[in-house]
């Protein structure tokens, strides 16, 4: 158990329909049809009125969330988090959005306690390890950026195996983040590493997924230049030469997890390119042939870099 500001976070094994909270979360499809899994359990125990209310407000946007009464459940509300359409396909972005929108609905209804299942991990077959990190990121982001009505957020996992996985990942992640930040934004660095006429991007192992500039958090007692060199070595195996600051990016929306301020460097890479740390892959790209999926605001950073090169 830990706290984010005034909200207690718990991760337990149990039956979500038996939780003594104001709202339980249904891992829903956007048509709000309550069939199997968590939805089926809520419908069976809560009674037909939940589905009847849901029918009146469906469909909702994928990644959205909507509120109904909770019928015969101990809870007062069911918040239906639309983690997929009826094709049962989901992804990191949808799970992050549906978690965030669920929390927004809870604030609108002045809800003090809420119980979440692992979203997308039933018929959506989304890996629970990734769901744990994405959902805990979304919860942290919501609770940290503004005052919340929520006094308690509970993650409820049905099996012991799922609970062990979720508890280990979410608890360690939230504990780590709490140690990294107090009231201000995260300080990070990124590097545009040039080799010949190409630049280096890494494919992220952890959410948010996609290709990104090598970079990461600045450690306490570390200056920006040292952090950029360390992160580049950890993620690409490259040494950086001719390191120079390019620009600082501070839009609070640039990172979907939380507010980060990143100083971007330009440097030449030396050595053998090889992925490491939280990089799944490290690869060279031409600036006119960048990948489709680029994380954070790194596509905008690279557009600025292209303009800079053209101005020389």
Catalytically active residues, by annotation: 281
- The Cβ of residue 44 has, within 10 Å, a number of other Cβ atoms equal to 12
Query: What's the number of CA atoms in the CB half-sphere (13 Å) around residue 199?
Result: 25
What are the respective helix, strand and coil percentages of the chain, to the nearest 5?
35, 30, 35
Who's near 164: CB < 8 A, 6+ residues apart? none
For the chain, state the CA radius of gyration: 21
DSSP assignment, residue 294? B
Who's near 163: CB < 8 A, 6+ residues apart? 11, 12, 13, 157
Beta bridge partners of 241: 268
Going by their DSSP bridges, the two strands 186-195 and 198-204 should be labelled as antiparallel
What would the two tokens of residue 155 be? 């993650």
First to last CA, the chain: 54
- Collapsing DSSP to helix, strand or coil, 193 comes out as strand
Distance CA 40, CA 17 (A): 10
- Collapsing DSSP to helix, strand or coil, 217 comes out as strand
Q: Which residue from 101, 106, 110, 108 is spatially nearest to 154, judged by alpha carbons?
A: 106
Distance CA 223, CA 272 (A): 25
């Amino acid at each position: 158990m830990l706290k984010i500001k005034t909200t207690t976070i718990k991760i337990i094994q149990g039956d979500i329909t038996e939780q003594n909270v104001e709202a339980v979360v249904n891992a829903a499809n956007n048509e709000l049809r309550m069939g199997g899994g968590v939805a089926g359990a809520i419908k069976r125990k809560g009674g037909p009125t939940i589905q009847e209310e849901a029918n009146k407000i469906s469909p909702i946007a994928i990644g959205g969330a909507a509120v109904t009464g909770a019928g015969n459940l101990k809870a007062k509300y069911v918040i239906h988090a639309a983690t997929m359409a009826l094709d049962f396909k989901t992804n990191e972005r949808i799970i992050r959005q549906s978690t965030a929108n669920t929390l927004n609905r809870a604030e609108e209804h002045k809800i003090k306690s809420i119980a979440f299942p692992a979203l997308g991990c039933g018929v959506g077959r989304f890996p629970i390890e990734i769901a744990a990190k994405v959902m805990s990121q979304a919860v942290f982001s919501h609770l940290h950026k503004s005052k919340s009505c929520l006094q308690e957020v509970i993650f409820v996992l049905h099996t012991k195996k799922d609970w062990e996985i979720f508890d280990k990942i979410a608890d360690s992640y939230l504990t780590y983040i709490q140690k990294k930040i107090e009231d201000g934004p995260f300080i990070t660095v990124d590097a545009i590493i040039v080799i010949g006429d190409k630049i280096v991007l890494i494919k992220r192992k952890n959410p948010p997924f996609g290709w990104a500039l090598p970079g990461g958090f600045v450690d306490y007692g570390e200056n920006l230049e040292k952090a950029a060199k360390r992160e580049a070595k950890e993620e690409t195996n490259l040494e950086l030469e001719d390191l120079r600051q390019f620009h600082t990016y501070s839009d609070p929306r640039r990172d979907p997890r939380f507010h980060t301020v990143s100083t971007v460097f330009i440097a030449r890479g030396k050595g053998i390119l090889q992925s490491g740390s939280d990089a799944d892959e490290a690869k060279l790209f031409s600036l006119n042939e960048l990948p489709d999926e680029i994380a954070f605001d790194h596509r905008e950073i690279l557009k600025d870099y292209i303009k800079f090169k053209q101005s020389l």
